[in-house]
Amino acid sequence: MLDQKIKALELIYRGDVAKQLAEIQNYMDNPVGVGEHGNLIETMDNLVAKLAESEDKLITLEKYFINE
């Protein structure tokens, strides 16, 4: 059975990935409807960086703790 702390981390990282994907999609679908859209590319770049970080954490967790 998977340790509850590891499972909690997995759920956090998966949630973070989903959150970043949803926010990026929102910017792509509604760039004018998003407040402060003057820095759209910079904002999306920051979201992609957060997505990559969350994805890296999930991959690392799976490599060392889940898929042993």
pLDDT digits (tens, 9 = 90+) for 6-65: 999 999 999 999 999 999 999 888 877 666 556 888 889 999 999 999 999 999 999 999
pLDDT at 5 over 90: yes
- Predicted local confidence at residue 27, as pLDDT: 87
Neighbour-count burial for 20-56, b at 16+ CB within 10 Å, e otherwise: beebbeebeeeeeeeeeeeeeeebeeebeebbeebbe
The count of residues in the chain is 68
- Count the neighbouring beta carbons within 10 Å of the beta carbon of residue 67: 7
What's the pTM value of the predicted model, to 2 decimals? 0.84
- Predicted local confidence at residue 38, as pLDDT: 64
Residue 54 in contact with residue 13, Cβ under 8 Å?
Answer: yes
